[in-house]
């Protein structure tokens, strides 16, 4: 039951961040909350002085890089959530083969996402976006099939920052 609740909570966190920023209303900060690059920038809020620094939106080839990174994230999250549910059900039913298959699909989805983030990080012309995508690739690399080991808060923070940098 605990794992099912963890899967449900994870699903809500991950799916809340999926989709393009242009398709969602802006997330407003609570009244009195600090705003600006120091509140969610890469590497603990450090800024790089790159085009778009402080304005929220990344410059250069950001639209193409952002679109590829966001598509890869949406696909990976969808696969991750679906297969994690199948894996939990298979473990509950003592179906080792189905659990192993689901685990392998999760691993492939995360590897593909991490590879796309790394590739897009090297393509990004905007220094903030380049750093963020590298940070996200590292974070995705730490994800596993053990729901209890996932840092949903950090992943959500990185995805929110990506949405901010990718806003038009």
Give the Cα separation of 19 and 74 in Å (integer): 7
In a 10 Å sphere around its CB, with 0-12 CB exposed, 13-18 middle and 19+ buried, how is residue 62 labelled? buried
Q: Which two tokens stand for residue 129?
A: 């976006």
- 57: its two tokens: 């939106």
Q: Which of 130, 19, 114 is nearest to 65 (CA)?
A: 130
Contact 164, 56 (CB under 8 A): yes
Q: pLDDT truncated to tens, each residue of the chain (168 aa)?
A: 445 545 544 554 455 544 444 343 333 333 343 333 333 333 333 333 333 344 467 788 989 999 999 999 889 888 988 998 999 999 999 999 999 999 999 889 989 999 999 999 999 999 999 999 999 999 888 876 666 677 778 777 878 888 888 885
Task: Say how far apart CA 78 and CA 98 lie, in whole Å.
Answer: 18
């Amino acid at each position: 039951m605990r794992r099912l609740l963890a899967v449900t909570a994870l699903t809500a966190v991950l799916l809340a961040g999926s989709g393009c920023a242009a398709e969602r209303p802006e997330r407003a900060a609570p009244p009195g909350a600090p705003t600006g690059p120091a509140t969610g920038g890469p590497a603990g809020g450090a800024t790089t002085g790159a085009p778009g620094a402080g304005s929220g939106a990344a410059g250069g080839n950001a639209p193409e890089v952002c679109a590829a990174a966001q598509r890869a994230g949406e696909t990976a999250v969808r696969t991750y959530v679906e297969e994690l549910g199948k894996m939990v059900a298979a473990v509950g039913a003592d179906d080792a083969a189905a659990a192993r298959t689901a685990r392998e699909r999760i691993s492939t989805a995360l590897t593909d996402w991490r590879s796309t983030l790394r590739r897009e990080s090297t393509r990004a012309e905007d220094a903030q976006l380049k750093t963020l995508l590298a940070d996200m690739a590292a974070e995705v690399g730490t994800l596993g099939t053990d729901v209890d080991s996932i840092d949903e808060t950090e992943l959500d923070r990185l995805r929110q920052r990506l949405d901010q940098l990718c806003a038009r």
